[in-house]
Structure 1
Amino acid sequence: MRMPARLLPRLLAIAAAVTLSVQQAAAQSILRDAETEALLQEMSAPLVKAAGLEKGNVEVIMINDPSINAFVAGGQAVYIHSGLINAATDAGEVQGVIAHELGHVTGGHIIRFDEGAKAATNITILSLLLGLAAAAAGAPDAAMGVLAAGQQAAMGKFLSFTRTQESSADAAGAEYLSKAGISGRGSLEFFKKLQNQEFRYGYSQSDEAGFSRTHPLTGDRIANLRETYEKDPAWTKATDPALQERFTRVRAKLYGYLAEPAKTLSVYPPTDNSIPAHYARAYAYHKDALINKALVETAALIAAEPNNPYFLELEGQILLESGRPGQALPALRQANRLTGNNPLIATIFGHALIATEDPANYPEAERVLKAAVTRDRESPFAWYQLGVVYAAQGDMPRARLASAEQQVMERRFPEALQNAQAAFTGLPVGSPDWLRAQDITMQARAEMDKNKKKKKKKSEPEGNG
């Protein structure tokens, strides 16, 4: 007997429900800010050392996502959601999260992810074969039952695997905090906030609900970690006041940048004259196009700390984005100098120099932007600006090469290929730029061929079996 035509799609849909992959970072936007990146680097440095990882090889990256989460996704990169920074009130809480995520890195959990997925997939394939056999034998209800049971078993096995990894990362994170001399109080406080979130949204804390959980019960994690942390010599150690002040500022600027201006002004009212409040309000007023009010806030910040490069950067950015690039130059030039040509600040400075439309500023813009992309090649906007200044100076081969660099990062391979080929023909043979144009040409062609093969495979009709 043939399987009913309406049944096969349902069977395959159940089988597909356990397809497992890690693609979190790809669908989310990365937030980049010089001050925030410097702070996260400093906060993670002692933990990276405690974990036995090489300094400079671990990145802590901010993701624009309001949920309270963090994860690792290949390599040695820790991704932290903006919502986590907003939820934390102490730098030690974020350090506790970073320590936990480093536990995933050292445990090779991303690499071992396939182990759990493979075990689950094997169960699913077996249940699919049994289900298809039952359906072919004329028992569609039995087929659906077999597949549903197989799906449940597969998911249970996989979730059990991830819960084991989470427990392992908890233990490793506690070890790294101890070695770094950082109290586990922050880690516990953050787990309590997660527990409150679970209660608020009705997530069950019972053992019976544990089947569907990717993490161990938060209450159990708190109990286990408290016992470990309270025995540690660093338990009573307070968070470094200077680090905490920097964290409070970054948290406020992030809130001002992301939240609705009215909400920012409610949390940081004009009666609050603290530096974090001035910071948050400057962003809120700027978002509302209240430029004079925004500049009053930056003036208060700079009056308090005249050589703070991030306050100067913000003032310059507000002036630039309000159509006053010439007025932005002194603040941005000083911020760039004070940070030793930080790539993000250098890019804004280079943009301001170009935006003046004064040819006298173009040579400085070229120097600044070349320094920026030398230190951070993964900046499409910096490459775009460098291309603009090359074009303004009549250097079209390098302008096309800069455009190709930008387009490769944006995965616009046909345009990258076109620009790289044009640059290749106009650059001095054998020069570094000529060789780079050749590299981009080969890379773009390879990616285009790969994409063609994927499209061809998708368009091929499936066999009828």
Structure 2
Amino acid sequence: MRFLARLLAILAAAMLAAQPVAAQSILRDAETEKFLDEISEPLIEAAGLEPANVDIILVNDSSINAFVAGGQAVYIHSGLIEAADSAEEVQGVIAHELGHITGGHIIRYSEGIGTASKISLLSVLAGIGAALAGAGEAAAGIMALGQQAAMGKFLAFTRTQEASADLAGAEYLSEAGISGRGSLTFFGKLLNREFRYGYSQSDEAGFYRTHPLSGDRIRTLTEVYEKDPAWDAPRNAAQQARFERVKAKLTGYIAKPNETLRDYPETTNTIPALYARAYAYHKNARVDRALETADALLAKDPEDPYFLELKGQVLLESGRPTEALDPLRRATTLTNSQPLIASMLGHALIATEDRVNYEEAEKVLRAAVGRDRYNPFAWYQLGVVYAERGDMPRARLASAEQQVMSGQYGLAMRSAQFAEAALPHGSPDWLRAQDIGMQARALLERQCEMEKGRNCGGRR
């Protein structure tokens, strides 16, 4: 039925991040992740959740969106960060998404689907009855109206969940002592976009909406926020400055260099402007300008680990790994071996092609994956080190780790089987090889079920 196909399309979009590394482009940056974790922590605690168990994940998508998709993970599109003007606006969105988590809304999607499917099925049965009675046109009309009613029922269900998440988010902001002004400002931006692109605010146009009308949300939340003791809470200036840095860094990384230089002209020498331009120059292969700009940032704060990371990255990716070692070592030390920065240091050590550096590279990379297993690039680099040392079982184990996270399930299964056969029986690495092999097999079988008729791992 076409109705079911539309429902599945909606759910597929909602559940897109069930396997984030394989399914979407996830943006990982040490400074950005730390910032998102810190601004989220008081909200997560206000929601009665444990900060260590909630992940805030940045998705490379220009649309203004955020969502949850099972578990305790909030996915934020890069377009949302670019559209926001303050940390408070982002906190408002995160608070709303936490409302979905605490409300169990992803799990309860089945309730909405079940009700809608019943309506659709009844309409089909009624339509068949009309057709058998000889009223073909009436049968088609009955089925179409039934499916439209089913879609409306399902979307009304999702709108109710969104309104519930709005109120829960307002509660978490209040508990954390954060003003709701940012939340309202962001909803105002959404409302302006709806008018700009001609999205009607009428109830008829909203029949197929998954969210309440932005105008309605603003009116409801304004009443809630203005009565809240946190309404007049001052903006956190240090937090806002960090937000502007992160936003500029993201722009420099994602946007076309000419767009970045337009938005952050060379006449402006603030930290965000320098940050954005350094990445724009680097993307344009203007290495000297990128390094000059990185040095300008370091002149403002020589001990800023993220400025050091930037300089090391430019040097490394410009074919100068030996020169990159000093800033990357300092950045790694200053961040207490932050896994993403340490991984870059490990990469630079290997890229020198000096075997003297391989021992340090192995130590750095093992520490990095020990603290953050979900880093396929670090696993790849670690595999390179093992292969250079002739330790092929552990090289294949590292490859299996990287491959399963990259969606290469067949390769991961074979690499894990090779490692398991050659590693000491019962050792931690042997057990890990077994685990990865079973995980890869299960994921491959599930992929085959979803792609029936296609050749999966040599089987049909």
Contact 2:3–2:151 at 8 Å: present in 1 too? no
Q: Distance in 2 between matches of 1:388 and 1:312?
A: 25
Q: Over residues 93-139 of structure 1, what are the superposed CA-to-partner deviations in whole Å (9 max), with x where a residue is unaligned?
A: 10011111111111111111111111111111222222233334443
For residue 36 of structure 1, the aligned residue among 27, 32, 35 is 32
Number of residue pairs the alignment of both structures matches: 448
Counterpart residue number, 1:120: 116
SS at match of 1:167: helix
For residue 214 of structure 1, the aligned residue among 210, 228, 233 is 210
Stretches of structure 1 that go unaligned for 5 or more consecutive residues are 1-11, 460-465
Contact 2:96–2:169 at 8 Å: present in 1 too? yes
SS at match of 1:56: helix
- Residue 6 of structure 2 aligns with an amino acid whose one-letter code is A
Q: Over residues 169-197 of structure 1, what are the superposed CA-to-partner deviations in whole Å (9 max), with x where a residue is unaligned?
A: 11111111111000111111111101101
- Mean Cα deviation higher: 431-440 or 363-372: 431-440
Counterpart residue number, 2:163: 167
Counterpart residue number, 1:356: 352
CA change 1:162–1:449 in 2 (3 A) is closer
1:156 aligns with 2:145: no
> Displacement, 1:458?
8.1
> Displacement, 1:233?
1.6
Q: Distance in 1 between matches of 2:124 and 2:257?
A: 53
1:24 aligns with 2:24: no
CA change 1:296–1:458 in 2 (3 A) is closer
Counterpart residue number, 2:259: 263
The 5-angstrom pairing of residues 447-462 of structure 1 reads: 447-452=443-448
1:13 aligns with 2:5: no
SS at match of 1:235: helix
Q: Percent identity?
A: 66
> Displacement, 1:455?
5.5
Counterpart residue number, 1:7: none
CA change 1:173–1:14 in 2 (3 A) is closer
Q: Distance in 2 between matches of 1:217 and 1:449?
A: 41
1:290 aligns with 2:279: no
Q: Over residues 128-152 of structure 1, what are the superposed CA-to-partner deviations in whole Å (9 max), with x where a residue is unaligned?
A: 2222333344433222211210111
SS at match of 1:62: strand
For residue 385 of structure 1, the aligned residue among 376, 381, 385 is 381
1:315 aligns with 2:311: yes
The 5-angstrom pairing of residues 359-370 of structure 1 reads: 359-370=355-366
1:139 aligns with 2:128: no
Counterpart residue number, 1:202: 198
Q: Distance in 1 between matches of 2:4 and 2:210?
A: 20
Contact 1:14–1:147 at 8 Å: present in 2 too? no
CA change 1:449–1:182 in 2 (3 A) is closer
> Displacement, 1:294?
0.5
Stretches of structure 2 that go unaligned for 5 or more consecutive residues are 456-460
SS at match of 2:374: coil
- Residue 144 of structure 2 aligns with an amino acid whose one-letter code is A
Counterpart residue number, 2:342: 346
CA change 1:229–1:444 in 2 (3 A) is closer
CA change 1:348–1:245 in 2 (3 A) is same
CA change 1:196–1:150 in 2 (3 A) is same
Counterpart residue number, 1:111: 107
Q: Over residues 243-264 of structure 1, what are the superposed CA-to-partner deviations in whole Å (9 max), with x where a residue is unaligned?
A: 0000000000101111110010
> Displacement, 1:207?
3.0
1:91 aligns with 2:87: yes
- Residue 54 of structure 1 aligns with an amino acid whose one-letter code is E
Contact 1:309–1:339 at 8 Å: present in 2 too? yes
Contact 1:174–1:228 at 8 Å: present in 2 too? yes
- Residue 31 of structure 1 aligns with an amino acid whose one-letter code is L
- Mean Cα deviation higher: 26-35 or 61-70: 26-35
Q: Distance in 2 between matches of 1:276 and 1:452?
A: 46
Contact 1:268–1:280 at 8 Å: present in 2 too? yes
Contact 2:70–2:107 at 8 Å: present in 1 too? yes
Provide the TM-score with structure 1 as the length reference: 0.93
